[in-house]
A = this chain, B = another copy of it.
Amino acid sequence: MKTGENNKNLSLKDRLFTIVFENDTHAGRSFDIALLWLILLSILVVCLESLPNLNQDYRTILSGAEWVITLLFTIEYIIRIWVVRNKLRYLKSFFGVTDLLAILPTYLSIFIAGSQFALIFRVFRLLRIFRILKLGRYVGESYSLINALKASRYKIIVFLQAVLVVVVIVGTMMYLIEGETSGFDSIPASIYWAIVTLTTVGFGDITPVTPLGRIVASMLMLLGYGIIAVPTGIVSAELAKNRNIKASTRTCPNCRLVIQDEGDNYCKNCGLQLEKKENNKV
């Protein structure tokens, strides 16, 4: 039996699975790209709905667009549940929960006013973009980024602890030095100011006016300017030793585990016999 014939003999359910869950066929990729644009459109609609001086006519159009998008997402959600073999695993997975969160707020907005802003969580669906990019070079790149960040996490936690100790101490000092007249009206507000300053954001809503306050602020700024080197150095050092990881585009149709070795015949997780695929033209 040739691998080509294999694909032709697939049932509707199997073909839908290939389209909505995988993207190494032409149809699968087209579906993912269409979905991505729909997600971006839905985010744009929610953003526009929040504008304060919006014309009532536009508001009606946006509301209509939202219901259309929600219905499309609902159909997609139902198909996903239907075609996946291990339904519970999908429902509890990150993408399963995200897919539900993307449609629920619109239905809830019938009962609770304002809940449609929760639709912005549709942005999480954008993470599906990484699936579309799977065929290309993006996955290997994002794996090496994530690995560098993972390898750096203990160093970064240690660094953040040091930063927190500094902002609490400097925040309290500034509260005692500056007092309420210049906006340092409580220790939490002063700690907030210290974070704004140390991270070199510098809003300017709270600023020191006393000479001593300015000296302490100057030292905090120089510290913040200097120690930005630390997380940067950590990540640079990790990335300098990164290795590009080859990413697979296959997932097990039963448990949705990513099949890492293209030559695997059985799913490592659930033992399902896997269909052989043609080589991807990367």
Measured between C-beta atoms, what is the minimum distance from A162 to chain B in Å?
9
- A203–B195 touching, CB < 8 Å: no
- B231–A172 touching, CB < 8 Å: no
Q: Is there a chain B Cβ closer than 8 Å to A126's Cβ?
A: yes
Number of copies: 4
Q: Is there a chain B Cβ closer than 8 Å to A252's Cβ?
A: no
- A222–B155 touching, CB < 8 Å: no
Count residues of chain A with CB under 8 A from any CB of chain B. Answer: 85
Measured between C-beta atoms, what is the minimum distance from A222 to chain B in Å?
6
Among A12-20, A74-82, A183-191, the one that faces the other chain is: A183-191
- A175–B205 touching, CB < 8 Å: no
- B154–A141 touching, CB < 8 Å: yes
Contact with B along A118-140 (1 / 0, CB 8 A): 00110110110110010011100
- List the B residue with the shortest CB-CB distance to A211: B188
- By a CB distance below 8 angstroms, the chain B residues around A144 are 155
Among A24-32, A56-64, A83-91, A163-171, the one that faces the other chain is: A163-171
- By a CB distance below 8 angstroms, the chain B residues around A160 are 222, 226
Q: Which of A184-211 contact B (CB under 8 A)?
A: 185-189, 191-192, 195-205, 207, 211
Q: Is there a chain B Cβ closer than 8 Å to A235's Cβ?
A: yes
- List the B residue with the shortest CB-CB distance to A142: B158
Q: Is there a chain B Cβ closer than 8 Å to A180's Cβ?
A: yes
- Bound Cα distance from A25 to B169, whole angstroms: 32
Contact with B along A231-253 (1 / 0, CB 8 A): 11111111110100000000000
- Bound Cα distance from A50 to B133, whole angstroms: 46
- List the B residue with the shortest CB-CB distance to A230: B235
- B121–A169 touching, CB < 8 Å: yes
Report which A residues bind B (CB closer than 8 A): 43, 46-48, 50-52, 117, 120-121, 123-124, 126-127, 129-130, 133, 136-138, 141-142, 144-145, 148-149, 154-161, 163-165, 168-169, 172, 175-176, 180, 185-189, 191-192, 195-205, 207, 211, 214, 217-218, 221-222, 224-226, 228-240, 242
- B236–A229 touching, CB < 8 Å: yes
Q: A47-B188, A142-B158, A200-B201 are in contact. List 14 more A-B contacts (CB 8 A).
A: A50-B187, A52-B186, A123-B168, A126-B165, A137-B154, A141-B155, A142-B155, A188-B211, A199-B200, A199-B224, A202-B203, A204-B204, A229-B232, A240-B240
- A203–B200 touching, CB < 8 Å: no
- Which are the 10 A-B pairs with shortest beta-carbon distances? A201-B202, A233-B235, A199-B225, A204-B204, A50-B187, A203-B204, A120-B172, A233-B236, A229-B235, A237-B239
